[in-house]
Amino acid sequence: MSTKPDIRAYMNALIPDIDRAMDRYLSENAEIPSRLLEAMRYSVYAGGKRLRPVFAIAVAEALGGERSGVMPAACALEFIHTYSLIHDDLPIMDNDDYRRGKLTNHKVYGDAGAVLAGDALQALAFRALADSALPAPRVVRMIAELAQASGPSGMVGGQSADMEHEGQPVSMDVLSYIHRHKTGALITAAVRLGAISQGADEGTLASLTVYAQSLGLAFQIMDDLLDVTGAEQLLGKAAGTDAKAGKATYPALFGAEQSQKMVTDLTDQAKSALQGAGGLLERGTLTALADYLSARDH
């Protein structure tokens, strides 16, 4: 009888490895202006759960892969995620002063410095992926996957729709589009990159995609709930910012109780999807990750 993995211990053990791997790309370099490098490092190392890298590594390991083989993809995912946060916090977008309990990038390095730091991290992500020692066809597919997920058909498209509908009543379809693209696309990419890195067959990849898409939406709904109910010291930023900005959220549309039920249902859907990807995935770390996300408090 298998025991449920200690997912917090698993994640905490991974974070130093991920941070060290990212440092390879963020060390002093005569070709990078020192102020730009400082701004990049400021946000990359400002904390965070490293959730997207963890997903990529967990999937690769569940499929029998070595952590080292997927680490460039893990770094790339965190660079893309961090760049998106830097840009989201800018005055012309969400206009946030704090992120993870620290001043946002533009508050320290100015608007232009923050834009450039984000731009640099986006480019660095694809450099990291291209440096991978995996077979070339897999690397090319992973690059295309990350570009699709982070670009206009994915994360950027979701952010654009979010801003377009700010302060307006929205339908469930629009709200679902925003959440599935702005947040869900990169989480889905993390899972798929982990699988592609190991040459997963299309059936396994399809099951893992359903798992990731369900969790990606659940994750953002939980974020919406935490913005309403979470403690500011845990969130690392002011609570209630979504409501003040007139953002479309699930609690605003459906209420907190129904939104929590959606999180539970989506988490169950994610775990059910793993049944098509083999018993090892169904019982192991990926199931524990799903449960962890549905119960988090920040």
Domain residue extents for the chain: 7-294
Residue type (1 letter), 250: Y
Nearest to 126 by CA among 159, 111, 148, 106: 148
Proportion of the chain above pLDDT 90, given as a percent:
76
Structure token digits, residue 209: 């995609």
Give the range among 34-48, 177-191, 245-259 with minimum mean pLDDT. Answer: 245-259
The predicted structure's pLDDT at residue 269: 95
Kind plus residue range of the DSSP H or E element containing 103? strand 102-103
Q: What is the per-residue pLDDT across 183-206, written as a single tens digit (0 to 9) for each?
A: 999 999 999 999 999 999 999 999
- DSSP class of residue 89 equals T
The predicted structure's pLDDT at residue 234: 46
DSSP string covering 33-44, please? Answer: -HHHHHHHHHHH
Q: Is 99 left (phi over 0), alpha (psi -120 to 50) or beta?
A: beta
Distances in Å between the Cα of 193 and the Cα atoms of 93, 261, 266, 293 are 29, 29, 21, 20
Mean pLDDT of 83-103: 95
The predicted structure's pLDDT at residue 242: 59
The predicted structure's pLDDT at residue 102: 94
Q: Where are the alpha helices (DSSP H) in the chain?
A: 7-23, 34-44, 51-62, 67-88, 105-130, 136-150, 155-164, 172-182, 184-197, 202-229, 232-235, 241-244, 250-254, 256-273, 279-283, 285-294
Contacts of 103 (CB under 8 A, 6+ apart): 97
- Note whether 275 and 124 are within 8 A (CB): no
Q: What is the per-residue pLDDT across 7-31, written as a single tens digit (0 to 9) for each?
A: 999 999 999 999 999 999 999 887 8
The predicted structure's pLDDT at residue 96: 93
Q: How confident is the model at residue 1 (pLDDT cuts 50, 70, 90)?
A: very low
Collapsed DSSP state (helix, strand, coil) of residue 99: strand
Report the C-alpha gap between 279 and 284 in whole angstroms. Answer: 8
Assess whether pLDDT exceeds 90 at residue 298: no
Nearest to 178 by CA among 191, 193, 166: 166
Collapsed DSSP state (helix, strand, coil) of residue 59: helix
Report the C-alpha gap between 113 and 119 in whole angstroms. Answer: 10
Contacts 24+ apart (CB under 8 A), 64-68: 64/198, 65/194, 65/197, 65/198, 67/17
Report the C-alpha gap between 235 and 193 in whole angstroms. Answer: 28
The predicted structure's pLDDT at residue 71: 97
The predicted structure's pLDDT at residue 231: 47
Assess whether pLDDT exceeds 80 at residue 108: yes
Distances in Å between the Cα of 113 and the Cα atoms of 42, 117, 246 are 12, 6, 28
State the fold for domain 7-294: Farnesyl Diphosphate Synthase (1.10.600)
More confident position, 241 or 83: 83
Q: How confident is the model at residue 283 (pLDDT cuts 50, 70, 90)?
A: low
Contacts of 237 (CB under 8 A, 6+ apart): 96, 98, 99, 100, 101
